[in-house]
Amino acid sequence: MAGIPVPEDPARELQLVVDTKGRLHVELDHPGSADEFELRDEQGVPVEITLPRRETRNSTHRFAIVGASALDCEASCRAVVIVLLKQGKEVRSAGVEIRRGKTSTVRL
């Protein structure tokens, strides 16, 4: 393509990143204390959360908590922190370890 530099050795410039996912079960002691949660990686960057549904899969970086005391989702194994938010402000966080092929449980 015109205007795009081509590397001398394209094989050396190619980097593949494989992102594995695991399941996460979130239990909330006080459902009213937060209205959303998100997962973050080691650099504090939000990680995509997938909520499995029968017909579709819903993906987002921040998920609303609507009166629930427990939530199940899938997320990248890169996630290391779960953050609870209330009206967009962080109210609580905790470390989390998501492992491929396993369901990790975190209680906040």
Report whether pLDDT(4) > 90: no
Model confidence over 52-75: pLDDT tens digits? Answer: 665 556 677 887 777 777 788 899
Q: What is the pLDDT of residue 62?
A: 84
- CB count in 10 Å sphere of residue 51: 15
Model confidence over 86-104: pLDDT tens digits? Answer: 999 999 999 999 999 889 8
Q: CATH says 20-107 is which class?
A: mainly beta
72, containing H or E segment: strand 70-76
Predicted confidence band at 10 (pLDDT cuts at 50, 70, 90)?
A: low
pTM exceeds 0.85, yes or no? no
CA distance 43 to 49: 17
Report whether pLDDT(85) > 50: yes
- CB count in 10 Å sphere of residue 104: 17
Q: What is the pLDDT of residue 1?
A: 47
Domain locations in the chain? 20-107
Model confidence over 12-43: pLDDT tens digits? Answer: 666 666 778 999 888 888 878 888 899 999 99
